[in-house]
Amino acid sequence: MLIDLSGKTALVTGSTQGIGAAIAAGLAAAGARVAVNGRSLESVEAAVERLGADGGEFFAAVGDIATDEGAGAVFGAVPDVDVLVNSLGIFGARPALEIEDAEWRRYFETNVLSAVRMIRHYLPGMVDRSWGRIQNIASDSAVAIPAEMIHYGMSKTALLAVTRGFAKEAAGTGVTVNSVIAGPTHTAGVEDFVYELVDRDLPWDEAQRAFMRDHRPQSLLGRLIEPEEIAHLVVYLSSPFASATTGGAVRVDGGYVDSILP
């Protein structure tokens, strides 16, 4: 299957590293012009340079989209897009009874409302052009709430509802809106998270196996997913080939969620 996104402009939020950076690289490899988003000019410029070293067209879209001001800066840098991928997200372990109101709000603002803000701005232009692709990067934690971070799970569950609702708003327009349910994925941030839960003295390969065995035993893959594996699905959903897939929660979770449907 040859996916050609030449002539398309894509914005990937939270794309200076990890899953977001892998998605940006995948979209650019398919021919899209990709806006790289992060909170600081330094981190975004470094990511643009790093990603561009392998080819493809990237440009900066600096701004903290969890705030109105930061979102406005991104809108100024990227007035219209054909592909929007809401990849920005925060996570971390916290005992349920120790999660205070401010932290609940921070998770909702960052993981949910930032995506709503982006969709609200870019969807009308997509509808006017009768083509567009919107994807929200969700998580297995949306449907299998982890006891050690229920605030994160809550935010990803909400993102599934946001996706379904906006897919209905875009019904019949040529614009598709989907969630991608990513399973436990190998990123620098996840390495830190793994070492919060297992012996820090273990070498990484042993720590990863211990984490999957003790904290994610449902995984059929038996290992962490690589960011590029998430990107492959996102690139497909961003293409004309995915024209009949909308309102869905599409899984690339290594078989983690133990159900036929989310």
Same domain for 115 and 196: no
CA distance 228 to 18: 9
User: Residue 1: its pLDDT value, please?
Assistant: 85
Q: Three-state DSSP class for 57?
A: strand
pLDDT at 216: 85
* Sequence-separated (6 or more) residues with CB below 8 Å from residue 218: 144, 255, 256, 257, 258
Same domain? For 58 and 92 the reply is yes
Q: Do both 98 and 201 map to the same domain?
A: no
- 199 with 123, same domain: the answer is no
Query: What per-residue confidence (pLDDT) applies to 37?
Result: 98
Q: What is the pLDDT of residue 190?
A: 83
Q: Are residues 194 and 96 in the same domain?
A: no
Please tell me the distance from the alpha carbon of residue 157 to that of residue 76, in angstroms, as a whole number. 30
| Catalytic residue list | 152
Q: Is residue 67 part of a domain?
A: yes
258 domain residue, yes or no = no
Structural domain for 13, as ranges: 9-185+229-252
Contacts 24+ apart (CB under 8 A), 37-46: 37/11, 37/12, 37/13, 37/61, 37/62, 37/63, 37/65, 37/74, 37/88, 38/14, 38/62, 39/63, 39/64, 39/70, 43/16, 44/16, 46/16
Question: Hey, how many other C-beta atoms are within 10 angstroms of the C-beta on 117?
Answer: 22
Same domain, 115 and 233: yes
Residue 259, domain member (yes or no): no
- Provide the CATH number for the domain around residue 85: 3.40.50.720
Residues 144 and 204 occupy one common structural domain: no
Within a domain: 3: no
Question: Does residue 53 sit in the same domain as residue 155?
Answer: yes
Looking at residue 11, its amino acid is L
Distance from C-alpha of 43 to C-alpha of 172, rounded to nearest angstrom: 39
Q: Is residue 203 part of a domain?
A: yes
Query: Could you tell me if residue 1 is inside a domain?
Result: no
- Say yes or no: 128 and 170 in one domain: yes
Question: What is the block-wise mean pLDDT of the chain (262 residues), using blocks of 10 residues?
Answer: 96 97 98 98 98 97 98 98 98 94 98 98 98 98 93 98 98 98 89 90 91 90 93 98 98 90 72
